Structures are given as C-alpha cells and as structure tokens.
A and B are shown apart, each in its own frame.
Chain A
Amino acid sequence: MTSRARDLRILLVDDDDDTTALLALGLERAGCSVEIASSCAIASDKLKNSVFDVLITDANLYDGDGLALLVDSRPSWLRVAVVLTGDKRSDLVHRSRQRGFDDLLVKPLVAREILTVIFRLLNEKELSQVSDG
C-alpha cells in the first residue's frame, strides 16, 4: 500500500482538528502528500490553486456543505473524491453522487480504511478506462 500511496496528493477537508491530524498522520505514514483545509472557504481556494489526486471532505463543515466543493464542476485532474459523514442517509448518498463524489464513507474511520477505498476506486477507474479504450 505504501508504494502506491507515495504519489498521491490528497486534500483533506474537516473542521475537527483532531480528526484531520490523525488522518493526516496515517496517510502521510503510508507515503501520501497531504494538505489540510479546515473550512469550505479554504478548501475551495486550494482546489482553485493546486492540483490534487484525491479529495476527502467531511459533509458537514461549519461554514457550509462539503458536497458543495464540487458544485461547479469536478476538476479533470481529480481522480477520486470521497465524502466523510457521521450518518449515511440515503438522501446524502444520492446528493453526493449527483455532485460528482465517488463514494460516501461513514465515520469513524482510520487512514488505512480510507486508503483501501481510494485504491479500490482507482482500480475501478483504471479498469473502466481500459474497457473504454
């Protein structure tokens, strides 16, 4: 997992400092490069000015809706986008799909569980590209 994670640039969005610190610790140990945003405003700014492979965002941020980060359009360079939530309601699942997110994960989660999902999604995308090509 470490060698595959080494090239991943991740934007991690959550307004709970302990949650982001712990997830970043685990993701960085696996070799990922992690940037943290504690609000929708900061995350939007980072998405406009930097390139990431993966977006991991909490659904409920104090200054807005984490799902709104992809509201305009999903950047072409973004390979995987996942939402973290404390409550997997069916309407949230539906809305996250509509907004362009690949999966919705229920907290509590540790970094290795998130990485497992990210690699599964990357594999699915690679397979789909091969079959399309």
Chain B
Amino acid sequence: MTDQNKEQFYLKTEFLERIAHELRGPAGVTLGALDEIDLALSDGNNSIEHLRPLFTMARRGVYRILRTSERLQRTAQLEKGTLDESRMPVDIKGLVSMAMDATKLVEARSNISVNFKPPALPFLVFVNSPLLVIAIAELILNAIRNADKKVTIEIKKTVENSVELWIIDDGNGFSGPWNRRFTTQSRRQGLGLSLSLVDDVIRAHDGNFFVEPAIHSNPPGARMRISLPLVMQ
C-alpha cells in the first residue's frame, strides 16, 4: 500500500468510525426517552405534561440523526461537484437566521444564549443556500457545545471585499489534543466530521475557514471565522 493509499484508508476508516459515533449518541437518547415514556405509561400516574420533555428528547434525537444524514448527503453533493448549478446571491444575515432556527431543533443546551445583532446593510454572497445554512449551523452547534454561558455571532465587512462571519463562545476553548491536531499538517483529521464539512463547503465557495482554539485567551473561548467573497453591487 502506498503512502497516499494508507492516508486515504486512514481517513476513510476514521470517517466511518466518526459516523458510527455520531449516530450512537442520538439513537441512545431516542431509545432512552422511549423507554422512559413506556415506563411512565405503564405506571399510569403520569400526566401528558410529565411526558412532554421525554417526547422532546426523543424528537431531538431523531432530528440529530437526520442532521447526520443531511451532512452525508451534502458531502456527497460536494464530492460530485454539482454545487455551481444552485448558487445564487443571498444576504448572509438570512443564512445566519435560518441556521439559528435549525440549531434549535437539535440542541438541548437551552441555558446557552446565542446573541446575533444583524447589521443594517445587506451583505450579498454567491452561494448554495442550503449548504451554507448547514455549515453555519454546524459552527453554531459547536460553539453552543463549547460555551459556558453565551455564543456571539458577528458579521463584518473586510477591506478586501469579502464578508466575515465570526462565531465566538465563552468556554474553555478546545482541549489539548484538539489544539495539537489543529496545528499538524494533516489539519483535517482534527476537525471532526462537522468542521471538515464546513471547511469543504467554504472552500467550494472560494472562501476561507479558520478556527482559533484560544485556550489561553482573555476572555476565554474559541473563535471560528468564515470569510466569503462579496457579490459586487
């Protein structure tokens, strides 16, 4: 086996392991919630209100599984190279709002506030909207997972006629092993399934994706930033 084949084999097996891992978590939550609903109904003393949080958990588990399915589908779309057929100019603010709505279906950490003050002016980018919404939602979900109390989303125009989207959390930053993997040459191996997809989506739109693990920063927290070329008006 050549070095390139070994690398491809490694990435493939890691990808499959990651998919298996990402399916097990929500499947376990769904099964657990259904078990609890079954027990509560057998008991006969539980009101519908008592059961509602369990239904919410089961539904969230299914949405998380569907999210993994959608990511796989979009990854396949990127691999096929069919992106350009469906690109159009859209305001990035609208994409952020749609992504924020999408995260509410799958995220259980309701104590984390997500703060987004949209700029007054539109910032048009030439993109495949569903793909961008998934990519932005992945970043928001990662930030919510890492956050202590809040996630901040900012949109900034740069001098190079591009727009930057910053997603910042106030957690402890990425852990040591993550940080090490970000700095290796095989950077993608450390990005995880969701951030690898973000990287692919943004590159396919002629943009850039950066992660600052920011372990020692003050204030603490990780920062993720995507930049995309602006449509000239």
Contact = CB atoms under 8 A, between A and B. Distances in A.
Given A22-B57, A65-B175, A65-B177, 12 more contacts: A16-B29, A18-B60, A22-B29, A26-B32, A62-B146, A62-B175, A63-B146, A87-B17, A107-B25, A108-B25, A110-B31, A110-B35
Given A26-B36, A110-B35, A86 B57 contact: no
A110 B177 contact: no
B21 interface: yes
B182 to A, nearest CB: 15
Nearest to B173: A63
7 contacts: A18-B33, A19-B28, A21-B57, A62-B146, A86-B21, A108-B25, A108-B29
Contact of A86 (B20, B29, B145): B20
B172 interface: yes
Interface size class of A (residues with CB under 8 A): 20 to 34
A74 to B, nearest CB: 22
A18 B20 CA distance: 19
A22 to B, nearest CB: 4
Contact of B28 (A41, A62, A63, A108): A108
Interface string B16-54: 010011001101110111011000000000000000010
Interface of B: 17, 20-21, 24-25, 27-29, 31-33, 35-36, 53, 57, 60-61, 108-109, 145-146, 171-172, 175-177
B231 to A, nearest CB: 36
Contact of B21 (A39, A87, A110): A87
A108 B27 contact: yes
Interface string A25-61: 1100000000000011100000000000000000001
A108 B32 contact: yes
A109 interface: yes
Contacts of B28: 19, 107-109
Contacts of A102: none
Contacts of A117: none
A18 B31 contact: no
Given A15-B145, A22-B29, A64 B175 contact: yes
Interface in A76-121: 86-87, 107-110
Contacts, number: 67
Contacts of B20: 86-87
A7 interface: no
A105 to B, nearest CB: 11
Given A22-B32, A22-B33, A86-B25, A63 B108 contact: no
Contacts of A62: 145-146, 171, 175
Contacts of A107: 24-25, 28
B25 A41 contact: no
A88 to B, nearest CB: 11
Contact of A18 (B29, B171, B172): B29
A23 interface: yes
A17 interface: yes
A90 B54 CA distance: 34
B62 to A, nearest CB: 12
Counting chain B CB atoms within 10 Å of each CB, which of A21, A39, A109 scores highest? A21
A18 B56 CA distance: 10
Nearest to A106: B24
